[in-house]
Structure 1
Amino acid sequence: MRLLHTADWHLGRSLGGHSLQDDQAHLLAEQLPAIVRDTAPDAVLLAGDVFDRAVPPAEAVRLLDEVLSALVLGLGVPVVIIPGNHDEARRVGFGARLLAAARLHIVQSPCGEAIPLGDREGRRATIVACGYATPLALAREPSLAEARFADHDGAFAALAPLLHGLCPAEGPRVLVAHAFVAGGAESPLSERALSVGGTGAIDAARFAGFDYVALGHLHRPQSLLGGRLRYSGSPFPYSVEEADHAKSVTLVEIGGEDAPRIEAIPLTPRRGLRVLTGSFAALRETESRAREDYVALILTDPVPIPEAQRRLAEVFPRIVGLRYATERAGTGQFATAGAAARIARPLDLFGRFHAELRGAPLPEEARPALVAAIEAAEAAGH
């Protein structure tokens, strides 16, 4: 059975103040349907972070409609979607019961839903799609009312038996989830932290029993547990830290006792993301395709150049960041204030505040309540 795995589209995203709408359309409305047509998968799996924020712009919603119409209606391929931590699950899941009849399966429940899947030769498998599962979300589920967990790993330990219980005794099992699995390589400025005070990592062993786990959240394509767990990565580099990533979608073949066979199918952006280093004068003389790309510039001049970014924008119209090579370590990053806020750990900050105010460390018994409160605030967009 062949599946095409993708994730972290972040529709509606901008980079350095520049809209990525046209670049995302080039990758997802043009290249992705062509890949699906050529590879003929039995389903497409979209593992969360469909949009970049809870209330996406109208043009991002239209682009999603265009892509899904091309896949489901145009090519007749089933699509399975889950929300990620950037999405508002109820918005992504609107009309899910009606759309399932057209084989567009949108699952928002953190306790999962089983989707039977058959291939052209009559083989059967079960896709278990699991909406973004935070401890707070799972604590509200009646089936886990008696469970007690303080972090994402504990929550998934309680959830895993329920997910397996959705599957028949026979046939391959595939899980679609959005999570940070311990051991995965992060790109911290583009992946809004799933953790609060380090509580977000899930032990890879929690996914035992699934033949393939299609993961979203980490933007670098990577595999764990011999290929049985995989992040397909994002289709476009969404931060300077991703400039060296080779973006792709994952074609996976499952069946039998062997490990899944995985092929990374490259995506070719209309514009790339580059980090260019040089003097102000040398960069002004650049004659290459880099002029059309998104660029982060590192100036080697010993002293700052007046209005450097404005003047360089005459050469590079899509500057996403600029700094000087002489800046002290830690001050010359390309991070924006918003990116810094996304990777801050609120529980750590509160712990330091508590220690300064009370003269004592934050009590361990207070952590679960604080984690729940912080996640509730994040889910509400605060």
Structure 2
Amino acid sequence: MKLLHLSDLHIGKSIGSYSLLEDQKFCLDQILEIIKNEKIDIVLIAGDIFDTSIPNNEAMKVYSDFVDEIIFNLKKKIIAISGNHDSGKRLEISKSFFEKNSYYIFGNSFDERLTFEDEYGKVNFYPIPYISLARAKNEIDPKIENFTDLYKILLKNIDYKDRNVLITHCYANEKPFEDEKIEGEKPLTIGGNDAMDAHLFKNFDYVALGHLHRKHFVLDEKIRYCGTFMKYSFSEINQKKSVTIADLKDDLKIKEIEIKPLNDFEKICDYFENIVKMENSNSYLEFILKDENPIDSPMVKLKMKFPHAVSISYENSIDIENEEALDIDLENLSVMEIFEEFYKFKMDEKMGKNEKEIFKKVIE
């Protein structure tokens, strides 16, 4: 049985002021070709289908078209769960209709099992959507303190006969009480420890994980994050995005197929005068200017050449978090005096007469 592992689609996501829907459709079309060419039997979607709990109509249509193509035209099955970005209850609307058409969605239920067969026998699928600790305490057990406690309860009645596949959305870690710094993903809890003990998954034949955007495995190659199919932040610039195929026979075989982006993500660090001489680019761009003095309306100028310019910062900007670096008496100084102090700190020189006149006009 051939499984295609997807997660963290984040349909409807934006970067800066730009919608990524066209980029997402471009990648999803590649995935449809992979499903067809690789003769995939079941598509697994391990949560965060949408970027928000209430997606707009355009995002819903992109996902609906993707699902329709898989189940009606390609005649394949889908098992999908909700993630921490999704509304589980909304995803399960028309659940019985979907299941009659080979689309099995689990947004709010966490104790179900699906069984399918191939020439090697049965394969049991356990879909466990994202469950908040607050909900777990209220509906499952008030003694639950962390995600390891939660999964110990959710998995306790599995006998692991035949082949077994888990689809879930969580932060599985080799060291469950040590959170690593995770960029680009919304935390599962506020101020708590998100990690859970990945050792609980070792008896499964394959574990399709969602939540982390970087593709990697935890403890064992069969316990995998497939990662996002495209880049969603500038922290992911150096990552190659792909989808994962798990072929469940006597021995598990794993294959990754790269997905090409419509528009890539790039960082450019240089002087403004050098940047404006560069070739035009459609990539999503983060600019870091080396200039000592501020440039007048830099984003307006850059967008004429780079239509997907996302953000601009200065390499030598002030570390505002360092309270000792900039000590200004905000209560007893005028707005002009405060800005003069700021200017002196930033530029290492006093404001000139022209600069003062300009700032006076701004205040007015």
TM-score calculated relative to the size of structure 2: 0.83
Contact map agreement 1:218 1:233 (CA 8 A) in 2: yes
Query: What does 1:59-70 correspond to in 2, within 5 Å?
Result: 59-70=58-69
For 1:220, give the aligned amino acid.
R
Shift of 1:196: 3.0
- How is 1:312-351 mapped onto 2 (pairs within 5 angstroms)? 312-328=302-318
CA 302–268 in structure 1, closer or farther in 2 if over 3 Å, else same: same
1:311 and 2:301 are equivalent in the alignment: yes
Question: What CA distance in whole angstroms lies between the structure 1 residues aligned with 2:317 and 2:249?
Answer: 53
Gaps of 5+ in 1: 332-382
Match of 1:287 in 2: 279
Picking from 168, 171, 192, the partner of 1:180 is 171
- How far apart are the structure 1 equivalents of 2:309 and 2:92? 36
Amino acid at match of 1:295: L
Q: How does 1:19-58 map to 2 (within 5 A)?
A: 19-28=19-28, 30-58=29-57
1:178-225 CA-to-partner distances (Å, cap 9, x unmatched) read: 001125997744210013323211011121311111000000111112
Equivalent in the alignment of 2:233: 239
In the other structure, the counterpart of 1:201 is 195
The structure 1 residue matched to 2:244, chosen from 250, 260, 275, is: 250
Aligned position for 2:97: 98
The CA distance in 2 between the partners of 1:262 and 1:327, in whole Å, is: 45
Identify if the C-alpha distance between structure 1 residues 187 and 263 changes in structure 2 by more than 3 Å, giving closer, same or farther: farther
Q: In structure 2, do the counterparts of structure 1 residues 319 and 183 end up closer, same or farther at CA, with 3 Å as the change threshold?
A: farther
Per-residue deviation at 1:292? 0.8
Is residue 187–residue 220 contact of structure 1 (8 Å, CA) maintained in 2? no
- State how many pairs are aligned: 318
Pairwise CA distance, 1:293:
1.0
Larger displacement relative to structure 2 (197-206 or 16-25): 197-206
RMSD over equivalenced CA pairs, Å:
2.0
Structure with greater helix share of residues: 1
| Inter-partner Cα distance in structure 2 for 1:183 and 1:247 | 23
For the residue of structure 2 that corresponds to 1:304, the secondary structure is coil
Q: From the superposition, tell whether residues 216 and 330 of structure 1 become closer, same or farther in structure 2 (CA, over 3 Å).
A: farther
Match of 1:227 among 204, 221, 227: 221
Which amino acid in the other structure matches residue 18 of structure 2?
H
Where does residue 366 of structure 1 map in the other structure? none
Equivalent residue number for residue 137 of structure 1: 135
List aligned pairs for 1:5-16, cutoff 5 A.
Answer: 5-16=5-16
Distance 2:79 2:212 in 1: 19
**Given that residues 195 and 201 in structure 1 are in contact (C-alpha distance below 8 angstroms), is that contact kept between their aligned partners in structure 2?**
no
AA of the residue aligned to 1:34 = E
Post-superposition Cα deviations, 1:53-87, rounded to whole Å, max 9, x if no partner, equal: 11001000001110001111111110011000000
SS in 2 for 1:62: helix
Is 1:123 matched up with 2:121?
Answer: yes
Amino acid at match of 1:11: I
The CA distance in 2 between the partners of 1:124 and 1:282, in whole Å, is 62
* CA offsets 1:292-324 (integer angstroms, 9 cap, x no match): 111111111122211111111111111122111
The separation in 2 between residues aligned to 1:57 and 1:130, in whole angstroms, is 25
Give the number of the structure whose alpha-carbon radius of gyration is greater. Answer: 2
Q: Which residue of 2 aligns with 1:156?
A: 151
Q: Which runs of 5+ in 2 are unaligned?
A: 322-364
Counterpart contact for 1:96–1:106, Cα < 8 Å: yes
3-state DSSP of counterpart to 1:125: strand
- Contact 1:110/1:137 (8 A) holds in 2: no
SS of equivalent residue, structure 2 residue 155: helix
Runs of 4 or more, structure 1, over 6 Å off, are 184-187
| Cα pair 2:124 2:162 within 8 Å, conserved | yes
Give the counterpart letter for 2:129 in structure 1: G
Q: What percentage of residue pairs aligned between the two structures are identical?
A: 29
Q: Contact (CA 8 Å) 1:80, 1:106: kept in 2 or not?
A: yes
SS in 2 for 1:31: helix
TM-score normalised by length of structure 1: 0.79
How many Å apart are 1:233 and its aligned residue?
Answer: 0.6
**Matched-pair contact (CA < 8 Å) for 1:187–1:218:** no
CA distance in 2 between counterparts of 1:112 and 1:319 reads 46
Q: How far, CA to CA, are the matches of 1:108 and 1:177 in structure 2?
A: 11
Contact 2:84 2:130 (C-alpha < 8 Å) held by counterparts: yes
Superposition deviation, residue 264 in structure 1: 1.3
- SS of residue matched to 1:129: strand
Output the amino acid matched with 2:268.
L
CA contact (8 A) 2:287 2:311 kept: yes
